Structure 1
């Protein structure tokens, strides 16, 4: 089953689906800054564009370009920002 999600007044949209390893989402983030919370471990893969991310327990933003990824533990929050539309694949563990 495919699920559709919208966040931040439609500025972040994703489609949820099941993989052989579990739940995943693929989506687009419009330019802006956003804060997300996790309930499971998340592995965020940047497919196109780039994201700056402020991860838990970090003081500095880091840039993740297409082909790069980062992980966020369960029950945490993190911020992302971008100046261009960015596509991502998020895998939940």
Structure 2
């Protein structure tokens, strides 16, 4: 049954490096939010240090992924906001 489901997903899912990187950036943002909250609310200095170290690693990974997305021109952070919105809209139309 797993093989059938895998084939169905592969045939109906258009996944590429850009989609994977975008999902990883979103996941890193969520993880950074969680570790920041844990760092700020932890009760002991040892826990603060552990969470802070993890937060630093996640920020480094997020920075690397963002740099990759900019270098590959998957995102244009310096474009006008209206142009960024139009590009996102056009991408969404082409994947439907």
Query: Structure 1 length normalisation: TM-score?
Result: 0.17
Higher relative contact order, structure no. (Cα contacts within 8 Å, ≥ 6 residues apart):
1
Query: If each structure's strand is expressed as a fraction of its own residues, which one has the higher value?
Result: 1
- Over alpha carbons, which structure has the higher Rg? 2
Query: Structure 2 length normalisation: TM-score?
Result: 0.17
